[in-house]
Amino acid sequence: MAGPLQGVRVVEFAGLGPGPFCGMLLADLGADVVRVDRRSRGTGLVGALGATSLLDRGKRSIALDLKDDADLAVVRALVARSDVLLEGFRPGVMERLGLGPEQAHELNPALVYGRMTGWGQTGPLAHSAGHDIGYIALTGALGATGRPDERPAPALNLLGDFGGGGVFLALGAVAALLHARATGEGQVVDAAIVDGTAVLTTMIHGMLDTGAWTDARGANLLDTGAPFYDVYRCADGTFLAVGALEEQFYAALLTGLGLAGDPTVPDRADVAAWPALRARFAEVIGSRTRAEWWQVFAGTDACVAPAWSLLEATTDEHNRERGVFVEVDGVVQPGVAPRFSVTPGSVGGVPAVGQHDAQVRAELGM
């Protein structure tokens, strides 16, 4: 595989969600990621995801028992030759296995030791179980999401696990790798989902400070409080997303809706008139199907888009032409991002558990 990270060696301890997602990002960009799998993945959620998870694409797999001395020797050899280590266990688990940062840096002083947790390595919740919904709740991101008269709704597990977690671990790993390459000194990257998710809300906190945002859900520009930044139901029951914030885009929206120059349209600058404006938009948009509206707005500056389902998105004209989704081994999936002009990444296949045992052992001389 080509990519800007070609030549970077990563050892990833198999897990769920953000850790494997970070490994996938590195593999997509050309890193050689060796996933250390358990000999048996079980039958629960872990087993259900198992080797069929697209988060494992482009990686190699070796199946080991971390409680077996001989297999631990293989792991230590992997650590000694790797540039980056990724693990997502609760704090203390790797130390009990004899694979904590101190032991790992004795084997490899330049190692970037990436740790992925929800709560972080320290703090009163560090040793507690958790999932995306709890992490984003604690940062305020969940409470700020949704309409004022409804319960906060998590955006799948994208905001915390992947946005606040896996992406930040990947950024941290690459940044620490640059430092290690320059100095020969490795370090620990403590990537906590609560930390990363909080960083994602930085702009909103800035708006809170200036009074441009209120600490109330569904009452602001970007949280469906504004009728010109919301989602509307079409005549066929599907939805249309409207994001016409700027004046010129709003003008294009009114033109497309057939409301330009209509004196009965409530003034969008009057917050008190927002409910009436939303009702007017809902009435007009609800008179046509999503396909009909997309014929009107596609290619305009009205900032309107159809709210496709996950499967519908894979067949969208723009997404097809740009290659946003690719097909690998018969599976349609998102392609590589970001894109590089000289060293483009690529999407690899998903390995079976232990598929590369012999190959990896041979490389280690074992």
Question: What's 68's domain CATH number?
Answer: 3.40.50.10540
What domain count does the chain have?
A: 2
139 neighbors 168 (Cβ within 8 angstroms): no
21 and 81 together in one domain = yes
Residue 2: predicted pLDDT: 82
Active site residues: 131, 161
pTM: 0.94
342 and 306 together in one domain = no
89 and 35 together in one domain = yes
14 and 67 together in one domain = yes
Residue 1: predicted pLDDT: 56
173 and 247 together in one domain = no
In a domain, 327, yes or no: no
In a domain, 215, yes or no: no
In a domain, 98, yes or no: yes
Question: Could you say which DSSP state residue 158 is in?
Answer: I
189 and 248 together in one domain = no
263 and 346 together in one domain = no
117/100 Cα distance (integer angstroms): 15
Tell me the pairing of strands 187-192 and 229-233.
unpaired
146 and 93 together in one domain = yes
Helix 167-183 and helix 18-28, axial crossing angle in degrees, nearest 10? 60
306 and 165 together in one domain = no
CA 290 to chain centre: 28
How crowded is residue 98: how many other Cβ atoms within 10 Å of its Cβ? 13
In a domain, 223, yes or no: no
Residue 39: predicted pLDDT: 81
Residue 241 three-state SS: strand
224 neighbors 218 (Cβ within 8 angstroms): yes
34 neighbors 78 (Cβ within 8 angstroms): yes
314/307 Cα distance (integer angstroms): 12
Report phi then psi at 130, rounded to 5: -170, 170
Residue 144 sits at the vertex; the CA angle it makes with 138 and 145, to the nearest 5 degrees, is 110
List the chain pLDDT tens, one digit each, 366 residues. Answer: 589 999 999 999 999 999 999 999 999 999 999 999 988 655 444 444 544 589 999 999 999 999 999 999 999 999 999 999 999 999 999 999 999 999 999 999 999 999 999 999 999 999 999 999 999 999 999 999 999 989 999 999 999 999 999 999 999 999 999 999 999 999 999 999 999 999 999 999 999 999 999 999 999 999 999 999 999 999 999 999 999 999 999 999 999 999 999 999 999 999 999 999 999 999 999 999 999 999 999 999 999 999 999 999 999 999 999 999 999 999 999 999 999 999 999 999 999 999 999 999 999 999
Q: Residues near 280 by Cβ (< 8 Å), separated by ≥ 6?
A: 259, 265, 266
Residue type, 167: V
Domain range for 265 is 229-310
Report phi then psi at 62, rounded to 5: -130, 130
Alpha helices in 34-82 (DSSP H): 45-49, 69-81
Structure token digits, residue 42? 């079980």
Residue 45: predicted pLDDT: 44
In a domain, 326, yes or no: no
21 and 98 together in one domain = yes
184 and 238 together in one domain = no
Question: Could you say which DSSP state residue 175 is in?
Answer: H
In a domain, 319, yes or no: no
188 and 72 together in one domain = yes
**How many residues can be counted in the chain?**
366
